[in-house]
Structure 1
């Protein structure tokens, strides 16, 4: 893979994994628009592991407290707010895990098309804008009850459709449930950890059975670049989102979706 392709795809993955604009859509579209060869499954695994390392590093303190208190709750030593948040992350992961196991093959063969991406980009972009406009923005992620957590989890399962955006649809659900923008973003980022682990596990399995040669230097560089760009993205996004709002991302999605409709429906 040329170095320019590697850097562009790795940076794109790192930025779009956590912004509400769909990383899968951009990784599908960029090679198609520029007539690049497919980057391959091994590279996808590497850049996903890079973004996983970024979110773990950024939330390392909170993850330590969540893990410690979750284990304490299993031992019957009471349930703290951090333990409840850990349980919430696990519960919200169940729907997307089941949907991925049941529909992964069909989605990859039937829905990875520019017109599907365009429709999802437009439709879920409008829902993001509506939730940001109408949401009360008075709660944090610790106040979600199990019904709210399950609602976010069911919304997350929709992110298997290319163009939806996992972070976008979970933030949309969080805002609709009354979370602040910062709380919706933090919960979305925490939810990404088990989802990336599960998706990465499936991709590693597919890679192991494919029996293809692996360029380890390319994979390590791709993981490093995607991790660095993802870490910067998380930090900047959480600092700016309170006053930035979701509307720049809504407008971007609308422009991108309309452009794709024009390009691929003609």
Structure 2
């Protein structure tokens, strides 16, 4: 089995024309384990197989392994399977970019006739993503506002529960290519919100309006179902979301004595095309 650093180097060698330098926007060439642009800006591949394109420090405080490990367990248990099935049906041949890819499980569970790319600002997330050894993909630490991808290099930009930058999305999308965005709807994870004493309903109107502004001829699909949480994952459910940041450790311990037994998945899947 190839080492992670070698696996990434091989993948980048095949796809070098899909990347561009985030500092000067020139093309890259691969020199052993480094991406070097025409102006000699250099980005090394880490032993984990990750490239750091950020000009700021990656997030090592909030989005950490402590949250990503429970999230991975729940994603791989099938909690989001109906959502992913809908996304799978929307995918077209060509390259797929997962924006805010976290620990990589969503990207792993999707099949595409093209190459896969994911990025995040969370160091633990991208490092965990390279542990998914069965997946052929490139993961990086990257800035949403300045993507290290060439113009018109992607067939699909995937945006699941993460922020958007539609200017950059449209730049990297090929002509007629698509953005698939998943946003929480009113009752998403209402059991978790209730357990934490937070407002149960979620308001997505501003996020939806911004998408419609950029892609007026969108397709919109609502998905709502209840997922029965296996007993061995009920504690993980409490730790899978940034929602837990809002409560104290004392409250967490009390809630853990009687965790939710089900999870409501209520989302809108938005599909828009670059004109």
TM-score normalised by length of structure 2: 0.27
* Bigger Rg over Cα: 2
Greater fraction of residues in helix? 1
- Relative to the length of structure 1, the TM-score reads 0.28
Which has the larger strand fraction?
Answer: 2
